[in-house]
Structures are given as C-alpha cells and as structure tokens.
DNA sequence: CAAGAGATCATCT
DNA sequence: GATGATCTCTTGA
C-alpha cells in the first residue's frame, strides 16, 4: 500500500522512525528499483542549525517550507544528490533524509548505475542511494504521493530502532548532538553502524 | 582497518 | 570566495 500524505504531516521524528521498514519505490524508463528503508535522519525547523532552512527561506530551501510529502533533492560536494521527504505543516521547514536502503528489486540496474557488484555498496549512504535509484534535481519538488517516486507499506511489523547523532553536521553547534538519526538494529545495509 | 586527500559545483556571503 | 546532510581511493600499519 502506498503511503498517503497525512503520514508525512506527522511530527518529523515520528515520520523518520516510521519510515524504517517501509519500501522506497522508484519508477524510471530504465526499470523499477525498490529498497527497504533502513536509515533516516530528521531535520526539524528554523532553529535546527543542521537544517538547511535554519539559514532562512531561499530558493533552495523553499520546498522545505511547502506541503508535506514532497521530495527535497539537493546537490552536495559537487558530486552527489541527497533525497529528503518534506514533513509537517506548510511554512514549518522540516524533512526526513533517507540515508540508506536495502536493495530489493532492480538490483542489476542499481549495479550498473553504481558500477559495482557489491550488494552492500549499492545504497548504503544518501549519495549512493540517489545514484542507484537515479534520483537527481529533476525530482526536486516531486510529489512523493504520486507514481514515480513513493513509499510503500508492505505490512512489515515495526523494526527495532537505534537512535544516535546525525552524520556530517559537526558545524551545527549544540544541535549536532540531537539523537535524530535512526536505523534498523542489526541491518547490514546502513551507511555505518 | 583507520585516516587523509581529492574530486567539483550550487548556493549563499 | 568559501563551504558542504558525500564517496572513493590511497597510504600505512
């Protein structure tokens, strides 16, 4: 079952936790790719110094101020894209970063896009995931409740969750310590233990 | 295995 | 002009 918009309108931490064990589906002319979400991070509001929107409302962050259930895709370090899903109410800038998935369908396609044969290296990180799923700027602002990129609930029971500080946000002062990174306990497909 | 460098560009100052 | 919600490769133990 495809997840519908009210799910994404919940508090960001709730969305980040509940996305674990759900399935990211990407339809593309080259084929279908599906992965089980095993790692997420929450970026919450104008005060969160790790959140891009804490610098204010700009052309880049505008999407995070919009309606929940849309994709926020940005380009980073000159090489990679990162996929977020906008959460909470309009005008409150917040999103969940999808950090890693366990490859499930379209594995050969992922291998060719990633230029590696190793299952554990296909989507174990936000940049890798976007490469494996062919996610780029053209999907910025896309509706996650539509049909080219969405999340499915396949009836899996809630997984055991670990929480910890977010990755790569050392510049964020006291906000860097917030335990807003979530992963499925014991998963071999996370970006790091 | 850990640590470090380099790659490369959109965005904001 | 600086920097970043990253990744890969190389070096050295």
The C-alpha atoms of residue A193 and residue A183 are separated, in whole angstroms, by: 9
CB A64, CB A53: distance < 8 Å: yes
Q: Which nucleotide is nearest to A137 (CA to C1')?
A: B10
In a domain, A72, yes or no: yes
In a domain, A192, yes or no: no
How confident is the model at residue A19, as a pLDDT? 98
A129 touches strand C (CB under 7 A): yes
Regions of chain A with pLDDT less than 70: none
CB A34, CB A22: distance < 8 Å: no
A58 touches strand B (CB under 7 A): yes
CATH number of the domain encompassing residue A63 = 3.10.300.10
User: How do residues A7-17 score in pLDDT, each as one tens digit?
Assistant: 999 999 999 99
A176 touches strand C (CB under 7 A): no
In a domain, A28, yes or no: yes
How confident is the model at residue A115, as a pLDDT? 95
How confident is the model at residue A122, as a pLDDT? 97
In a domain, A78, yes or no: yes
What is the overall mean pLDDT for chain A?
Answer: 97
**Structural domain harbouring A139:** 5-184
Give the count of domains, chain A: 1
In a domain, A67, yes or no: yes
Question: In degrees rounded to 5, what are phi and psi of residue A17?
Answer: -70, -40
Instruction: Please identify residues in chain A, positions 4-43, with a C-beta within 7 angstroms of any atom of strand C.
Output: 41, 43
In a domain, A74, yes or no: yes
How confident is the model at residue A7, as a pLDDT? 98
Predicted TM-score (pTM) of the model is 0.96
Q: Which nucleotide is nearest to A42 (CA to C1')?
A: C5
How confident is the model at residue A187, as a pLDDT? 96
In a domain, A190, yes or no: no
């Amino acid at each position: 079952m495809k997840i519908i918009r009210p799910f994404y309108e919940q508090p960001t931490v709730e969305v980040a936790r509940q996305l674990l064990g759900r399935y990211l589906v990407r339809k593309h002319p080259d084929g279908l790719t599906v992965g089980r979400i095993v790692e997420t991070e929450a970026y919450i509001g104008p005060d969160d110094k790790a959140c891009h929107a804490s610098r204010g409302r700009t052309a880049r962050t505008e999407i995070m101020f919009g309606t929940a259930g849309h994709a926020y895709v940005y380009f980073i370090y000159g090489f990679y894209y990162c996929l977020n899903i906008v959460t909470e109410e309009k005008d409150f800038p917040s999103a969940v970063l999808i950090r890693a998935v366990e490859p499930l369908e379209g594995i050969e396609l992922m291998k060719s896009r990633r230029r590696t044969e190793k299952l554990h290296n296909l989507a174990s990180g936000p940049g890798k995931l976007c490469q494996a799923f062919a996610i780029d700027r053209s999907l910025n602002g896309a509706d996650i409740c539509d049909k080219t990129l969405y999340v499915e609930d396949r009836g899996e029971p809630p997984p055991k969750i670990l929480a910890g500080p977010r990755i790569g946000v050392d510049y964020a002062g006291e906000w860097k310590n917030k335990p807003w990174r979530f992963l499925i306990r014991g998963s071999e497909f996370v970006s790091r233990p």
